[in-house]
Amino acid sequence: MDNAFIESFNGKLRDECLNEYWFLNLKHAQDEIEKWRIEYNEERPHRSLGNRTPYEFVKEHQFMLQEQRLNLNLVHISG
């Protein structure tokens, strides 16, 4: 199952970024890949994440984890 996610990501990276450019040098490749990475993670909603960006998904998950830690700390202090 993990390999399917990686293969899907690799295919998107290749189709949407690597195959679109004739990189002139390493700096050009790094710049274009970084632009694609930002768009992929911060701007483009993903169906598998409930039409949220990965960035939004992580921020929401981090907030939920902080809430759980707070609740656990309160239980530990009072218990």
Strand partners, 52: 46
26 pLDDT exceeds 80? yes
For the stretch 39-57, pLDDT in tens is: 999 999 999 899 999 999 9
Whether residue 13 contacts residue 36, with contact meaning beta carbons closer than 8 Å, is answered with yes
Whether residue 53 contacts residue 46, with contact meaning beta carbons closer than 8 Å, is answered with yes
3-state secondary structure 10-70: HHHHHHHCHHHCCCCCHHHHHHHHHHHHHHHHHHCCEHHHCCECHHHHHHHHHHHHHHHHH
Share of the chain above pLDDT 70, in %: 84
* Residue 74 DSSP class: H
9 pLDDT exceeds 60? yes
